[in-house]
């Protein structure tokens, strides 16, 4: 038998059998034409010739007149490739019940050139509607996965987060904070930070006491972690203005992170995206969760619009009660907006635009008798906490 993985072995070429690129082949291939499935049907001797230009197999009588024309794309080779020198059986989807039986295998080479599909088993040729069905199924599966990831799993995470043991949250927060780098421990800077935190948080009732630390890292960012942990990075303090307006900016950022803690956003996001990781891990055999990836992973995430709005609203409330002008938070967001690259329209992005958030905060009136978040000297101490 001829190997199934390679082209059929053509016979030794003869001048009269060389295929022409765009004209009927000059070679004739003798065959017997069975025109019906009736048992007593007498085969008709015919000569076969391929017309590549018309995409047809011509059936000619002994005088060269065309008896029929079979479309090359509709040909089939139900018996498969014959052994060397053996005969072929051809059928046509347009001629049910009819068959052509060649006298040898000389038609193999022309078929390989102009109707190669006949060498592929019909079970392996997928019709367009099968491909469309597969494509539609994949699209539906993708839509379902998107719905699960964006609607169901966040909702499930919100529900599950309420039942996460408090000691788990504290352990997560301590571990993640330790992964971010060295904690700055200047005594005077730490005292200023504690005073600022106390002024903003006041008697706020939270599940965990608030612990704020500064990490010796140039990143201009802040991060709320599970278990009441808040991390400010040295880069955030250094990027703020040296005057007391800089203290107002840091106070606004701190109030915003406290807002995330108050609403439980951190644990909700961790649990929700860990559930996504579990689903993906089950499907792919990958990492089953996100919590194990630590704070570095959390730094790369963003909250939903709703979560940012809730944290901003809490920040405005805390700053107002502490008599701190929220314009500092707005100024920080405006600085962030200058460095943002717009990649999605607002209605497609889950993360609200920083400039729009700043505008909403500036629309909020400053509290009466507001003063700087920290006196100039204490603000200088806080900025130098890592020195």
Is this model's pTM higher than 0.85 or not?
no
Q: What is the pLDDT of residue 273?
A: 65
- pLDDT above 70 covers what percent of the chain? 72
What's the number of domains the chain is made of? 2
* One domain, residues 209 and 356: yes
| Residue 110 pLDDT greater than 70, yes or no | yes
Q: What is the pLDDT of residue 68?
A: 95
| Residue 204 pLDDT greater than 70, yes or no | yes
Q: For the domain that residue 87 is a member of, what is the CATH number?
A: 2.30.29.30
Closest CA to 118 of 71, 85, 86: 71
* One domain, residues 224 and 100: no
pLDDT band at residue 266 using 50, 70 and 90 as cut-offs: confident
Does residue 239 belong to any structural domain of this protein?
Answer: yes
**Partners of residue 183 on adjacent β-strands:** 215
Query: Which of 88, 123, 158 is the endpoint of a domain?
Result: 123
Contacts 24+ apart (CB under 8 A), 145-154: 148/279, 149/276, 149/279, 153/272, 153/273, 153/275, 153/276, 153/279, 154/268, 154/272, 154/304
Does residue 128 belong to any structural domain of this protein?
Answer: no
DSSP 362-380: HTSPPPTT---SS-HHHHH
Q: Can you tell me the mean pLDDT for 46-71?
A: 91
* One domain, residues 357 and 274: yes
* One domain, residues 195 and 333: yes
Does residue 82 belong to any structural domain of this protein?
Answer: yes
* One domain, residues 168 and 111: no
Does residue 6 belong to any structural domain of this protein?
Answer: no
pLDDT band at residue 172 using 50, 70 and 90 as cut-offs: confident
Which one is predicted more confidently, 36 or 8? 36
* One domain, residues 118 and 146: no
Q: Can you tell me the mean pLDDT for 103-117?
A: 86
Which one is predicted more confidently, 261 or 39? 261
Does residue 187 belong to any structural domain of this protein?
Answer: yes
Q: Can you tell me the mean pLDDT for 72-96?
A: 88
Which one is predicted more confidently, 153 or 350? 153
Across all residues in the chain, what is the average pLDDT? Answer: 79
Q: Can you tell me the mean pLDDT for 54-69?
A: 91
Query: Which of 123, 157, 188 is the endpoint of a domain?
Result: 123
- What are 270's two structure tokens? 């961790």
pLDDT band at residue 83 using 50, 70 and 90 as cut-offs: confident
Pairing verdict, β 29-34 and 44-51: antiparallel
**Contacting residues for 129 by C-beta, under 8 A, at least 6 apart:** none
* One domain, residues 285 and 176: yes
Q: What is the pLDDT of residue 297?
A: 47
- 52-66, 174-188, 337-351, range with the lowest pLDDT: 337-351
pLDDT band at residue 268 using 50, 70 and 90 as cut-offs: confident
| Residue 211 pLDDT greater than 70, yes or no | yes
- 163-177, 184-198, 293-307, 323-337, range with the lowest pLDDT: 293-307
Does residue 213 belong to any structural domain of this protein?
Answer: yes
* One domain, residues 119 and 152: no
Tell me the per-residue pLDDT of 142-159, one tens digit each, with 9 for 90 and over.
666 555 555 555 665 566
Q: What is the pLDDT of residue 301?
A: 56
Query: Which of 123, 153, 184 is the endpoint of a domain?
Result: 123
Does residue 302 belong to any structural domain of this protein?
Answer: yes
* One domain, residues 117 and 164: no
* One domain, residues 184 and 39: no
Environment class of 7 (CB within 10 Å of its CB; exposed 0-12, middle 13-18, buried 19+) = middle
- 28-32, 91-95, 242-246, range with the lowest pLDDT: 28-32
| Residue 382 pLDDT greater than 90, yes or no | yes
Q: Which domain holds residue 51?
A: 18-123
* One domain, residues 241 and 308: yes
Q: What is the pLDDT of residue 165?
A: 84
* One domain, residues 167 and 76: no
Does residue 28 belong to any structural domain of this protein?
Answer: yes
């Amino acid at each position: 038998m001829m190997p199934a993985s390679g082209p059929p072995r053509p016979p030794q070429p003869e001048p009269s059998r060389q295929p022409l690129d765009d004209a009927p082949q000059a070679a004739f291939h003798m065959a017997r034409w069975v025109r019906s499935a009736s048992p007593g049907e007498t085969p008709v001797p015919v000569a076969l010739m391929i017309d590549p230009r018309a995409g047809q197999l011509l059936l000619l009588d002994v005088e060269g007149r065309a008896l029929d024309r079979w479309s090359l794309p509709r040909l089939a080779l139900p018996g498969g490739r014959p052994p060397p020198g053996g005969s072929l059986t051809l059928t046509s989807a347009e001629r049910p019940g009819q068959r052509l039986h060649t006298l040898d295998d000389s038609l193999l080479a022309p078929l390989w050139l102009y109707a190669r599909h006949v060498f592929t088993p019909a079970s392996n040729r997928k019709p367009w509607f099968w491909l469309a069905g597969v494509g539609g199924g994949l699209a539906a599966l993708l839509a379902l996965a998107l719905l699960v990831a964006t609607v169901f799993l966040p909702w499930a995470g919100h529900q599950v987060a309420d039942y996460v043991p408090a000691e788990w949250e504290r352990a997560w927060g301590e571990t993640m904070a330790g992964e971010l780098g060295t904690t700055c421990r200047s005594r005077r800077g730490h005292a200023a930070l504690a005073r600022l935190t106390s002024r903003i948080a006041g008697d706020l009732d939270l599940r965990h006491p608030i612990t704020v630390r500064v990490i010796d890292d140039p990143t201009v960012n802040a991060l709320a972690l599970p278990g009441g942990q808040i991390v400010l990075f040295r880069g955030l303090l250094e990027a703020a203005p040296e005057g007391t307006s800089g203290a107002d900016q840091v106070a606004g950022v701190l109030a915003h992170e406290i807002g995330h803690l108050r609403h439980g956003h951190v644990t909700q996001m961790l649990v929700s995206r860990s559930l996504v990781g579990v689903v993906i891990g089950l499907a792919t055999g990958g990492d089953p969760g996100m919590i194990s990836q630590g704070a570095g992973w959390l730094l790369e995430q963003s909250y939903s619009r709703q979560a940012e709005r809730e944290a901003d609203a809490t920040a405005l409330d805390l700053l107002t009660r502490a008599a701190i002008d929220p314009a500092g938070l707005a100024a920080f967001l405006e600085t962030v907006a200058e460095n943002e690259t717009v990649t999605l329209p607002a209605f497609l992005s889950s993360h609200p635009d920083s400039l729009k958030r700043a505008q909403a905060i500036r629309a909020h009136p400053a509290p009466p008798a507001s003063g700087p978040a920290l006196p100039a000297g204490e603000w200088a101490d806080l900025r130098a906490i890592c020195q």
